[in-house]
Chains A and B, each alone.
Chain A
Amino acid sequence: MKKVSLLALGAGFVASLALSPQPVAAQESTLEIVENRGVLRCQVGTPAPGFYSLSDDGNWSGFDVENCRAISAAIFGDPDNIEFQSVTSAVRFTAMANGESDVLSRTTTWTLFRDTQLGLDFTTVNFYDGQGFMVSNDLGVSSALELAGATVCVLTGTTTELNLTDYSRTNDLGIEPVVFEDSNVRDSTFFSGGCDAVTNDKSGLASIRAKAPDQSIFTILPETISKEPLGPVVRQNDSQWNDIVMWSVFAMVNAEELGINSGNIDEMRANSTNPEVKRMLGVEGDLNKGLGLGPDWAYNIIKMVGNYGENYEEYMGAKTVMNIPRPGSVNDLWTRGGLMYSPPFR
């Protein structure tokens, strides 16, 4: 028994290494790998309301989860052919770099460093966020610049932490950060007055407030102290895969601009005279060729996942706990004064 255990373990280990496939597989493109595997490996974070959260029956849902579903719909014609990988922010890039995940779709800020030095490529932005502060009303503060000497709760291992330091140094505020690993702990600390303010991407502040026993006593300060463009990330040097992920997001944005949604898409495909609609939904032309996908890839995305506006209202809109009104904000379409702008489907 003793001999068997360690020796067999060792022998098995060695044998499995010797038999493991040689680096020939490295040439295979991500699309081929995903198609052969039959399932998309999509990385999300540990649950964050609005973006990706877990229901009691074990399903993932949220704004960033819809990206994964869109990609899956584009490739397989089935939005749920996904193996979700939920990893902590500390190892998110490692999990991408070693090929564990095919795409990372979780609130990850696009920065120059991350785009160039981690072996990753940022595809596009599906949500423009910015860091802000929330305080309790009885602090009597109406601007972030009045926070001199305040203690601020912040999550560790994120750009949020770095931005807070920069902001404090720039404005000579002497802010004392109180860092947390777990957002639940951060929030309960904030509610009970463990810090004067809490800082997070503004998208998250409303959902933090939604956890409070009494929501009316907290105010979100007007300042936005950073730019946080969030979007899906892929491994470097696979431009076809990069295109698939990027254009899956664009398809949802463009569909909203063209007035296509999951409800009217069949009618649009049958009756629309707009050539761009026809091209996009695969009725005319062969825009799908370069992506290596079927002609109805965009149709599948919108039919099964919905357009950008639908998803926004479902997970971020005024009716949800996130409560981030869209009209006129940066996340509105460019035609309505926002930044959501898809290159033409031509």
Chain B
Amino acid sequence: MTPVAAKHTRDTKKRLPWNRAFLLKLELRSHPGLLCVIRGALAPLMEMLGFSEEQVREIIRGVDEAVANIMRHSYHGCLDQPIELYCNRLHRQSNGQTEQAIEILLFDCGPAVDTTKLAARPLDEVRPGGLGLHIIRGSMDTVEYKRAGRLNRLRLVKYVHPSKSGCGSKEEKPS
């Protein structure tokens, strides 16, 4: 999966108005016991990038739920399937100011996701389960899913200092 994911990342870079700096790559198996490893790796990185404590918690929550969703839904609980996680720092000049963000790309080899079924359940229903997607969307500024060849790609973006109008609206449309 590595070469394909890397090529996809390079291709995406050409289309983005952002400057991207690669920071971290994690390759792991789809074992839930590794979720704590991801959280443990991301927290200090996000702190180093200047995110507030609350934003760090949001990023950790969003990524953790996204990876758990891959393990649960894409790999149906199989413990040995590959997952790749890339962290890139994004920055660009806009109206004389530098916008900073973290981009997290998640790749898995599971079957294509039926995007018509990607609906978070109504929150007024009192029942267990179905909260993951809602939590991911509520934690990150941008959430984009794309089928990239034989891979599923989930792109998560979080801005260091979102403007009141919402930096996410300035970003490029999903490719």
Are A and B co-members of a single complex?
no
